Amino acid sequence: MLFSWMKIGASGVVAVILTLSSDPKELKIFIPANLTAIALSSYAGVELRKLQRYYEDQERQEDMLAAMKDTQAEEQLQYLTSAAERKRLYEESDKETERQLKLLQQTAPLFNEVLAVTGQSGAVNRMALGMIQNGEGLGNVLLATSEAEMQLEQAKLQAQIHQRQLELQTQQALKDAHVEVVTVATPSTPVSTEPSTSPKMEGLRKAAKVVGLETQCLRVDKAPSYERLIFSVRTEDFNTLPKFKAASKLALGISEKEDLPFYIYAPEQIAVEIPLKPQDRTYYNFPVRQWQQGERLIVLGQSLDGEVVIDLASEDTPQLLVVGTTGSGKSNFFRAAAYCLLMQGARVDVCGGKVSDYEDFADRFPTITMNDMGNTSEFVGEYFLECVSRNSMTKAELAEEQPWILFIDEYKGTVPLDDTQRKAYDQQLCEVGRRGRGLKIHVVIGLQRGAKRGKEDPQGLPPDLRDNLPCRIAFRCVDATSGRMILMRRGEAVTSLQGRGDGIVQSGLLDQRFQAYKFETIP
């Protein structure tokens, strides 16, 4: 390369010297010196062009080499990456195998436990084994197996019930006479028994075991419409209690729509209320009793703690809100309550509901009025004015006044649809609820279901009015929403009530499930 540059340089220099040495006065091209200079510079130019090509080739070669290097490096990198990935996957699968082995070792004894709990059901065992081998968490395995087992049990139970129903139908067909289903008993103290083994208790024990709870049934209390089972429970994880409840519902065959009341009964003790079959329930006739004039007692019925009585004169229970679907025993309660208050000398005005329900009252009690739903606003107005009037009385004057009680059954139907009338109705009724308590003026409002006042339901119950009705009674409701709206605690329990007078009363500290007295003919 150096030789080429030297050749170009020498030819160039000689060409320049020859050009400079020419005589400016005699400028002729075709003299030997000029021709030589031109030839030399042409030669230098050709050589320069060659060199340029040479360098361009060199550059191209270098670029190609660099590109080749890059490609190779990329391929190498890819190879190395995939090798590393393969290694990682192998390591992970090794770890997974190791984990599975460890899990199997750890769960083998527990799987035995699952087998012991789930019994000899091949399908359930296979499911549990499959889940354990797939690395499913033990808690999930236990829950899934328990659910599967419960479903099997439930199916068996339903088959038994079906069988029994068929037997009963056959027996019934053989009988000519109509059999009265309701058993009416005289009030008695509820029975507490030592726990014996029953299918219910067995089911609950199994449910507790499945969710990993240590329990023991301490006592069974027999209430008129349900059995209350008291369990000792030792757990530090309170999340297991809802699981225990869900598993127990499955074990007892209680549907999703119905509640199974579970609540804390004492430290480390829970109570479960299991409904009795209709034929095992106890019903009570309304008792004959001595009444004191001037008192304002409503005798409700029997509970596990004895007779339940509401005193309208008490701070906690001056105004009542009652809810219950058809057949729950709400009308029976209204009749019984009217009777109690009339026997103590009160004035009772019945609005809404079935006026014919009180036909037998008219002859016996002069202080009762039975009114069409449409007249309710007039009575509300009259009660409101009476509140205004009694408000200015002295204590001594007030003591002389007769208690007034306004019954509004089927409240929704009594609310005016016209905006102005409804406003006045709401305001006055709310005031009667609020001020009446100290003035011997009371309201008892009945609803089929708890419906909140809103744009879409202008006849629903306004919150202000509800707040002024502090004593709540719930009979059976089909949806838990009604219960939550009416009761102050455990509202969903309304779906566990069995109808025909099975109710819950709440107010202040009072919270009792009771069986209402059956009120047929006036005693």
When the beta carbons of 12 and 324 are compared against ligand ATP, the nearer one is 324
Tell whether residue 287 is a contact of ligand ATP (CB under 6 A). Answer: no
When the beta carbons of 83 and 181 are compared against ligand ATP, the nearer one is 181
Stretch that binds ligand ATP, among 29-37, 264-272, 289-297, 513-521 (CB under 6 A): 513-521
As a whole number of angstroms, the distance between CA 345 and CA 348 comes to 9
Helix (H) or strand (E) holding 107: helix 32-118
Nearest residue (beta carbon) to ligand ATP:
501
Tell whether residue 183 is a contact of ligand ATP (CB under 6 A). Answer: no
Tell whether residue 224 is a contact of ligand ATP (CB under 6 A). Answer: no
The residue from 327, 374, 463, 508 that contacts ligand ATP (CB under 6 A) is: 327
As a whole number of angstroms, the distance between CA 96 and CA 107 comes to 16
Nearest to 516 by CA among 338, 301, 297: 301
Give the shortest CB-251-to-ligand ATP separation in angstroms: 29
Binding mask 478-507 for ligand ATP (x = CB under 6 A): ----------------------xx------
207 three-state secondary structure: helix
Structure token pair of residue 1: 């390369």
Q: Say if residue 326 carries a ligand binding annotation.
A: yes
Tell whether residue 302 is a contact of ligand ATP (CB under 6 A). Answer: no
Chain center to CA of 37: 107
Segment 188 to 207, residues that bind ligand ATP, using CB under 6 A: none
As a whole number of angstroms, the distance between CA 232 and CA 214 comes to 8
As a whole number of angstroms, the distance between CA 307 and CA 353 comes to 27
The residue from 160, 326, 389, 391 that contacts ligand ATP (CB under 6 A) is: 326
> Per residue in 438-467, is it b (16+ CB within 10 Å) or e — as a string?
ebbbbbbbbbbbbbebeeeeeebbbeebbe
As a whole number of angstroms, the distance between CA 272 and CA 256 comes to 16
Question: Which residues, at least 6 apart from 38, have a Cβ–Cβ distance to it below 8 Å?
Answer: 15
DSSP 156-191: HHHHHHHHHHHHHHHHHHH--SPPP---EE---PPE
487 burial type by CB count under 10 A (0-12 exposed, 13-18 middle, 19+ buried):
buried
Give the shortest CB-160-to-ligand ATP separation in angstroms: 28
Stretch that binds ligand ATP, among 95-103, 142-150, 196-204, 322-330 (CB under 6 A): 322-330
As a whole number of angstroms, the distance between CA 154 and CA 446 comes to 37
Tell whether residue 516 is a contact of ligand ATP (CB under 6 A). Answer: yes
Stretch that binds ligand ATP, among 135-143, 228-236, 327-335, 461-469 (CB under 6 A): 327-335
As a whole number of angstroms, the distance between CA 441 and CA 459 comes to 24
Give the shortest CB-282-to-ligand ATP separation in angstroms: 10
The residue from 146, 332, 482, 496 that contacts ligand ATP (CB under 6 A) is: 332
Q: Say if residue 330 carries a ligand binding annotation.
A: yes
Q: Which amino acid is at 302?
A: Q
Q: Say if residue 328 carries a ligand binding annotation.
A: yes
When the beta carbons of 283 and 383 are compared against ligand ATP, the nearer one is 283
The residue from 283, 407, 411, 514 that contacts ligand ATP (CB under 6 A) is: 283
20 three-state secondary structure: helix
Segment 20 to 49, residues that bind ligand ATP, using CB under 6 A: none
When the beta carbons of 450 and 501 are compared against ligand ATP, the nearer one is 501
Q: Say if residue 369 carries a ligand binding annotation.
A: no
Which residues does the annotation place in the binding site for ATP?
Answer: 324-331
